[in-house]
Amino acid sequence: MTVTSAACACGQASLQTQADADLARRAPAGILVFACMVPLLLLSSDFFRIHHGAMLTALVVTHGCLAIRAWLIWCGGNLFLSRRTVWLHLTSAAVLTPIAMWDVFYCIIAIGRGTETWDALLLLLCMICTCFGGLHSFTPKLSLLWAYQYLLLGGPALVNVCVRNPHHLMIAAAVGALLLFVTIQGRVLHAQFWEVLNTQASLRKAKLEAESASEVKSAFLANMSHEIRTPLHGVLGMIAVVLEAELSEEQRKQLQLARHSGLLLQGILNDVLDISKIDAGKMVLEACDFDLQAALGEVVCLMMPQARQKGLDLSLSYPNELPQWFRADAARIRQITLNFIGNALKFTENGSVAVMVNTVDAVPGQVNVRIAVRDTGIGISAEQQTRLFEKFSQADSSTTRKYGGTGLGLAICRRLAEVMGGAVGVISAPGMGSTFWTTLPLTPVARPKISATSETSETCSRPRWQGRILVAEDNPINQKILTQLLLRRGLTVDTVPNGRDAVGMVLKTRYSIVFMDCQMPEMDGYEATGEIRSREGQRALPRTPIVAMTANAMAGDRELCLRAGMDDYVSKPLTVAELERILSHWGLMAEAGNMPLCAGVEAQRRERVSDSGG
């Protein structure tokens, strides 16, 4: 194991450990240069031919020390971890031994043959170059750096001083000045090295703190989502139950107003969760084949009552030459368009709102589609446009008081478009209306074949259901609401308050679907599902569809439920559209073909996304 990998394995290693490991990381270049320089030096000097045996010994000792250094770097990781002081002493010895030996050789050559001979000058030049190389290699360890420099050049300086010749004194002065320079420069580089090391440590600490804060934020949002959605499920669910009863016109209007207020609260909650998912990089796109013209037409139809209520014209313009079918995340495209239309209707008192679609450019296999929503509303100044797509930002403070909204809608649109590889923007002027646009790279696909059954099903009205359902829910209000909704659809319903009872009921009764709350006393939904799957495998029982019900709606919750063995997932508050989607998907209709499989999904998406706009 190398020293570098050993230091990385330490995890939160001390700064001194990191510095010692950096000493090993810097060494290979010096080892390679020294290994090549020594043979060339010996071949270029006469001293090798005169003292053949001594020079061979020096060559062996030098390369032996270089080999020891190489072993300590690439194979001494375990020694570095267990006995780092020993590793440092061995490294220092392997560095300083050949240096001391060549320093002695210089003194012998200078005294015996003179300091101005070719051999002495060549050796001194190589020693000076090696000294500068040590500034890089030994910066992390200042004591080793100084020992290396003074041992390398101390001998030449003393020898030239002792000769007492003006030329030699000049050489000694030059070597002394060089020693002073490398001493000062070594201290400066050492200080800079530790400054960088401390900065990196501070950045790592800040990164860990930011990640920890992000985890705390995610946990807080998950808990708040659960705590808010649980009572919200009770409110909206009970309103849905009452709306299916016989009511007077006035009672129905009042209940619809209460439902609308609850959906607005749900929309705000969805906005906060969406922006948190995007900020955390956990927003997952669901690509599917869809009809873009039909999807935008559904959005326009959905917003048409609001437009008519204000006396506004709402229209869709879709060019004939643009393909209709694409592969992308249709729900997110609807969400962006709904937000743009919702804002246009909110800030337009008279005139019209137009949705216009066109092609920006096209390349093989991809079309850049531009979806623009133009209104004749109040308009936005250039200064206000600069912050319009930021979180919690609106045109001005009076906008929030007059029109409402959290200021998250457009920020979410911008982030969603960026996640899909597109962009958003606005063209506006005060009193001249606004045009909000998004460009998205979409992949054209062939129109799917539509079966006769599917075509017939679109003309049918309310489906009829049959089957036996188990509701595992500890909250009595939520249990009662879901039970009432299921009973009104002609289904047989059993209820249990915890996961342990749910396991017993599933093992003795064949259920069409089990609605399993994830958080229950005695045994939660995850553990209960695992127990059911285990017992089904042991007894060779058919797999019972289990649908997770949870007030958590953060990224990863769905995957957690599916990994636990559940087959589907719904987040609270559960809407009627989502409930019928589940029933339809798991084949509980009495007559096949009464309802398209995706109808419940699309209805639920339209309901959820429309209320998150603005």
Residue length of the chain: 614
Helical segments of 244-313, H only = 249-279, 292-309
Structural contact between residues 347 and 361, judged by C-beta atoms closer than 8 angstroms: no
Helix axis angle, 84-113 to 142-163, nearest 10°: 10
How large is the C-alpha radius of gyration of the chain? Answer: 39
For the chain, which ranges sit under pLDDT 50? 392, 395-404, 451-461, 591-614
Structural contact between residues 266 and 611, judged by C-beta atoms closer than 8 angstroms: yes
Can you give the pLDDT at residue 83? 85
Burial status of residue 468 (CB atoms within 10 A of its CB: 0-12, 13-18, 19 or more): middle
Can you give the pLDDT at residue 407? 60
Residue type, 167: H
Structural contact between residues 99 and 151, judged by C-beta atoms closer than 8 angstroms: yes
Helix axis angle, 599-611 to 576-585, nearest 10°: 160
Can you give the pLDDT at residue 544? 92
Long-range CB contact pairs, 541-544, < 8 A, 24+: 541/507, 542/510, 543/567, 544/506, 544/510, 544/511, 544/513, 544/514
CATH class of the domain comprising 465-593: alpha beta
Structural contact between residues 357 and 445, judged by C-beta atoms closer than 8 angstroms: no
Side-chain half-sphere of 173: how many Cα atoms within 13 Å? 7
Taken in order 339, 345, 348, 353, the sign of the CA dihedral is positive
As a dihedral over the C-alpha atoms of residue 520, residue 526, residue 530, residue 535, rounded to 10 degrees, the angle is 30
Structural contact between residues 371 and 355, judged by C-beta atoms closer than 8 angstroms: yes
Residues with Cβ within 8 Å of 88's Cβ and at least 6 positions away in sequence, in order, are 20, 141
Determine the 3-state secondary structure of 368 from DSSP. strand
What does CATH list as the number for 288-444?
Answer: 3.30.565.10
Side-chain half-sphere of 415: how many Cα atoms within 13 Å? 20
Can you give the pLDDT at residue 9? 63
Angstrom distances, CA of residue 39 to CA of 36, 49, 58, 62, 96: 6, 13, 10, 10, 19
Can you give the pLDDT at residue 135? 82
Determine the 3-state secondary structure of 543 from DSSP. coil
Determine the 3-state secondary structure of 453 from DSSP. helix
The alpha carbon of 120 is separated from its chain's Cα centroid by a whole number of angstroms, namely 62
Side-chain half-sphere of 352: how many Cα atoms within 13 Å? 8
DSSP 104-121: HHHHHHHHHH-TTSHHHH
Burial status of residue 107 (CB atoms within 10 A of its CB: 0-12, 13-18, 19 or more): middle
Residues with Cβ within 8 Å of 298's Cβ and at least 6 positions away in sequence, in order, are 334, 602, 606
Q: Which two tokens stand for residue 564?
A: 């636990």
The alpha carbon of 81 is separated from its chain's Cα centroid by a whole number of angstroms, namely 33
Can you give the pLDDT at residue 384? 80
The alpha carbon of 419 is separated from its chain's Cα centroid by a whole number of angstroms, namely 12
Can you give the pLDDT at residue 463? 57
Q: Which pLDDT tens digit goes with each residue over 471-528?
A: 999 888 888 888 988 988 889 999 999 999 999 999 999 999 999 998 888 899 999 9
443: nearest Cα among 367, 498, 524? 367
Q: How far apart are CA 497 and CA 107, in angstroms?
A: 93
Structural contact between residues 567 and 547, judged by C-beta atoms closer than 8 angstroms: yes
Q: How far apart are CA 74 and CA 72, in angstroms?
A: 6
Can you give the pLDDT at residue 606? 38
Residue type, 176: G
Residues of the chain with CATH 3.30.565.10: 288-444
